[in-house]
Structure 1
Amino acid sequence: MVDPMKQFWVTVAAVFVALLIFVALPVVFLTGAMVSAVTSPSASGPSGPVVIELDLRGGVTDQAPQNPFAMFSGSGLSVMGIVDVLDRAQDDDDVRALFVRLPEAGMSPAAADEIRQAISRFRRAGKPVIAHSQGMMQSGAVVSSYMVGAAADEFWLQGNAALQAAGLQTEEIFFARAFERYGVEPQFEQRYEFKNAVNPFLQSDYTAAHREATLGWMNSVYLSAVANAARDRDMDRTVLQQALEAGPAMGEAARERGLVDRLGQVEEAEQRALTRAGEGAETISFASYAARPDTRRHRGPVIAVIEAEGPIVTGTGGSASPFGDASTIYSDRTAEAIYDAIEDEDVKAIVFRVSSPGGSDVASEQILAAVRAAVAAGKPVVVSMGAYAASGGYWISSEASHIVAQPTTLTGSIGVFGGKFVLSEALARFGVDIRSLSVGGETANLFSPADEFSAADRAAFSGWMDQIYDGFIQRVSRGRELPIERVREIARGRVWTGTEALRLGLVDELGGFHEAVQRAKVLAEIDEDADVQLRRFPAQQGFWEQLGLAFGGGAEAARALITLGALANDPDVQAAVREVQTARARAEGSHVLADEPL
């Protein structure tokens, strides 16, 4: 039951925050960084023919962040947003071309796959794509960034820049010798040898299994990117691979090797895009075009879209900081979204977007139970895997009606680990003594950092790990219709790419969100060419509603903030604020050149 006084003061605090924000609105109007810049007609950019500029240099998440302050950190771009907007733009007669600015470093291979596919669909609509790079440095999966550029009609490189995408690289930091030196004792159980997430705590180098699994997925990702780039550039794969592996190529050398098409500054590449777009075309930012009203998908059968990104934990996320930018999958919230879609009579199928490295087994089971309920209710669930769907991410996907993964999605990791760090000796070296007392059963202090596992502790904990692992195996066996012994062979904690997972029967199809929607239509017996409504669960909230809920004010605070948000968007209020800001600026001796927001 809610404490009325507590609720009152929480509401007062939330409204106070709202008032502070409202007072700060003159700054907002000047910078264009907040409400009016997003919702006013001028924010949609020029009318008539346009070239969309997609700048990937600020990084890309898989899904749009849920917290209200995400606009102040990062690029704000998500793979799901890029796919949605480019699919809309390819059917928009006003959009004549796409101009892509490529990152200097690597990007998530699966994200690159999905963006490449969206670019390919855009090109098939008869619209040119120009990509520009200011150089690429060998780091991480930079070959994936190169693959995105290769998908364009024209790939430009700044003349004095180097292109270095000679392979795929990763590193691991191992702490075993440091822990031994400083008296930290890690005690962990893994199921089994490929479940290497805890290896950095236990080893000083790659084990044979760790090395095998890592090189396995790295080779798969690298060869997939090279093959896609060669196909898009109409080159022999071996020739392109040799050109990439020859080392850094500066300007003209990159063009001579066939790695790029043209050399020039970014302004020249942008002008080329405008020229190809036709007379009168103007450049519009991706964010500005995305803010334009979307009139599609408001007719036809409904397909629910549920998104889940990040580690999987129990709870609702109600206590999470609104200033955090990390995505998290909360089991209560995600399961509730699935049950809401089940109860909605309009929903014919569900597309469940998953991008997760794993997490809590009980939280994963709660979400899987909801997936199972949807399938039992006659609503097919198609999982669309993002950057990864490993461990708990695969657990929540395993009993879906159909699984779609990118060739480079890291999936599987059917295994479990757990344990603790014993810190008594490490602390003792600094004169700090930690002592443990317990009552009850033998294993009451099982996870105490003061004591090592006793024989009884180790046996109990090991048995627990075995039960979780066996439960995981059973769910995969049931969901994928594979014999349990076959699942045991391909599990053991090993991570596979989507290409390998398809061969093993862990996924059904290679592709992205677009392919997942098409499969959902088939399973729901909807004509493949029919228009459908994509309805998100839970419904996306506006900025002010998110802010109210983020500060814990509940419905009343949310309503107060929404009201203030409506006032902030009211033209009369905006005009009054502009008059105040102009008068204040003049009184302070400023030279005001325009009364309109900049």
Structure 2
Amino acid sequence: MKQFLITMAGVFAGLVIFVIGVPVLLVMMAASAARPEPLPAQAVLELDLRNGLTDQDAQNPLISLGRRSMSVMSVIESLRRAETDGRVKGVLVRLPETGIAPASADELRLALKRFRAAGKPVIAHSQGIYPAGVVTSTYMLGSAADEFWMQPAASLQVTGLATEDVFLKRAFDKYGIEADFEQRQEYKNAVNQYLYSDYTPEHREAQLSWMGSIYRSAVVTAALDRKKDPAALQKALEAGPYLAEEAQRQGLIDKVGQVREAEKALLAKAGDAAKLVDFEDYLHQGRRRNETGQAIAVVEGEGPIVTGENGVGNPLTGGSTIYADEIADAIYEAVEDDDVKAIVLRVNSPGGSDTASEQIAAAVRAAKAAKKPVVVSMGTYAASGGYWIATEASSIIAQPTTLTGSIGVYGGKLALGPALERFGIDLRQTSVGGAYADAYSLGQGFGPEDEAAFGRWMDQIYENFVARVATGRKLPVERVREIARGRVWTGAQARELGLVDEVGGFYQAVEKAKALAGLEGDVRLKRMSPQASPFEALEQLLGVSAASARTLAAAAWLMGDPRAEAVLDEIARARMAQGRALVLSPTPVR
């Protein structure tokens, strides 16, 4: 009877997915195939950043279904196309009310500055900037426009940068949970929330260091664009908060007005017949393509780094993952493509599995051995495992506010046995083989022998990471140990330490790749990033629902049960956690 109910639940879930998913998929495919409306002869693009940006386009087309979202990469590519598009006369940027990831803001600023250099105006409009996230980056991006507008009586609260972390040590002590983790080294603070009730001196030092670097970078850049003294601008900002009218009097913005007024002002500059066009519509009109001739391959990866290929977890949930099989295969494919002369690897990742990271690094080495230079372009993060995969690139280019480094490793477990005993739940283990076989049981912490064995293993992984950096960056091993120790650096700091080669954005990486490959003139970009087709995405969705237990969870998820979504998410998390060492850094900016 039980098996019959499970089978019927699976059939029911499959029918729901078929009846709902297939029509939606067909509509989505039809919409994507539909010819977009022609762009008017005089157009002003409205770039709305209030819904947030990913660094890269979603690998799975079902993820973005029903959402209005864009990626930094697609926006800067479309702005590059708009520079020479005679129909596009200007851009209106709608700023978010909260923070923008600093490196994303840096990348967008470079694109807007190029657009302006082509003789096309940019107006930024804000309905207020409030203290949530890295708001200095939002202000910096607004300052890159020809005119920075704010809505009347809107608030400008750009007085600094703050973060807040939750520490669980006292709660764990109260309920009998033992956090048994090891870190290599003292700055590898991703699990400090489990181990302590406050910042360690090293944690605080590192946190204030990268925060200060990001803050200074945003203020200095905004001052440059607004033609102000950096110290004077910082003093004025920190004296806030202000309403828009006072911010204008202080010279922090240019004009006060409703967004409709800003639109009219930009349309007037564009010409009497100019029309406002949604930037996303322009983006989806497609990229210019030249399918012949020499090319630079672009391979993109965003999210935590794991082994295998896409196919684990719920394909309808958000979030991106770097699957080592897929990224490595894309690099090998570029190596075998005779038209491809160099590769730009775009990385936006806080890290993940050491073995997955090494698999991708091996593909980078293979490309270099085939005389195809690899240039890494770093997004918001390229830290820990994200830095591991970049170590042996021909050149590394990061934004000044990219978070990178974090050369270290951590691992361990939460021992839940004593906590569960309080609720009448007993964990008991049986094992065969060596003494280490049950080291990761949740019933108790590591014993002395297990702890020693675990520590030796962690040391080996750390030394492998250090050696990889020393080899790739041509640095003495002892020097790497000095600057490693798990510490996060900004791109500007990493440049001074020799961990990256240049400070800049994606198109600077493209130019570097051209130079290293000895290419001249126009060179096409050939995107070779892993990308599921709509049919593959649907097949993946149906595959996830096939197993009986996961079918029940998927059916419940479709009915709106949040517990089932948690089950599916936990499957993916458990895959990374148990018995693994993670070269993963915290992700404290947004």
- CA drift of 1:539 comes to 6.3
1:41-95 alpha-carbon deviations (Å, 9 max, x no partner):
3x33542110111000001111111112233365321111111110111110000
What's the counterpart of residue 349 of structure 1? Answer: 342
Q: Distance in 2 between matches of 1:25 and 1:521?
A: 39
Q: Distance in 1 between matches of 2:57 and 2:462?
A: 32
What's the counterpart of residue 508 of structure 1? Answer: 501
Question: Does the alignment pair 1:163 with 2:156?
Answer: yes
1:113-512 alignment to 2 at 5 Å?
A: 113-298=106-291, 300-512=293-505
Q: Distance in 2 between matches of 1:504 and 1:98?
A: 38
Preserved CA contact (<8 Å) 2:25 2:534: no
What's the counterpart of residue 104 of structure 1? Answer: 97
Q: Distance in 2 between matches of 1:14 and 1:304?
A: 39
C-alpha distance 133-317 of structure 1, shift in aligned 2 (>3 A): same
SS, match of residue 48 in structure 1: coil
Preserved CA contact (<8 Å) 2:330 2:530: no
Gaps of 5+ in 1: 1-9, 29-33, 554-598
What's the counterpart of residue 39 of structure 1? Answer: 33
Q: Distance in 1 between matches of 2:18 and 2:344?
A: 36
What's the counterpart of residue 525 of structure 2? Answer: 534
TM-score, length of structure 1 as denominator length: 0.86
SS, match of residue 233 in structure 2: helix
- CA drift of 1:36 comes to 4.3
Q: Distance in 2 between matches of 1:436 and 1:532?
A: 61
1:319-345 alpha-carbon deviations (Å, 9 max, x no partner):
342202110001111111111111111
* Amino acid corresponding to residue 490 of structure 2 in structure 1: T
- CA drift of 1:17 comes to 5.3
C-alpha distance 25-210 of structure 1, shift in aligned 2 (>3 A): closer
Q: Which runs of 4+ in 1 moved over 6 A?
A: 13-16
C-alpha distance 65-465 of structure 1, shift in aligned 2 (>3 A): same
Preserved CA contact (<8 Å) 1:156 1:262: yes
Q: Distance in 1 between matches of 2:420 and 2:389?
A: 39
Preserved CA contact (<8 Å) 1:14 1:548: no
Q: Distance in 1 between matches of 2:221 and 2:291?
A: 34
Q: Distance in 2 between matches of 1:44 and 1:390?
A: 42
C-alpha distance 263-236 of structure 1, shift in aligned 2 (>3 A): same
C-alpha distance 258-375 of structure 1, shift in aligned 2 (>3 A): same
C-alpha distance 405-450 of structure 1, shift in aligned 2 (>3 A): same
C-alpha distance 291-282 of structure 1, shift in aligned 2 (>3 A): same
Q: Distance in 1 between matches of 2:15 and 2:392?
A: 44
SS, match of residue 219 in structure 1: helix
Bigger-Rg structure (1/2): 1
Preserved CA contact (<8 Å) 2:92 2:124: yes
Q: Distance in 2 between matches of 1:144 and 1:24?
A: 37
Preserved CA contact (<8 Å) 2:59 2:530: no
SS, match of residue 379 in structure 2: strand
- CA drift of 1:40 comes to 2.6
C-alpha distance 189-286 of structure 1, shift in aligned 2 (>3 A): same
Q: Distance in 2 between matches of 1:452 and 1:292?
A: 57
What's the counterpart of residue 543 of structure 1? Answer: 534
Q: Distance in 1 between matches of 2:219 and 2:68?
A: 27
Q: Distance in 1 between matches of 2:23 and 2:413?
A: 49
- CA drift of 1:552 comes to 4.1
Preserved CA contact (<8 Å) 1:322 1:551: no
Preserved CA contact (<8 Å) 1:382 1:400: yes
- CA drift of 1:129 comes to 0.2
RMSD (Å) for aligned C-alpha atoms:
2.1
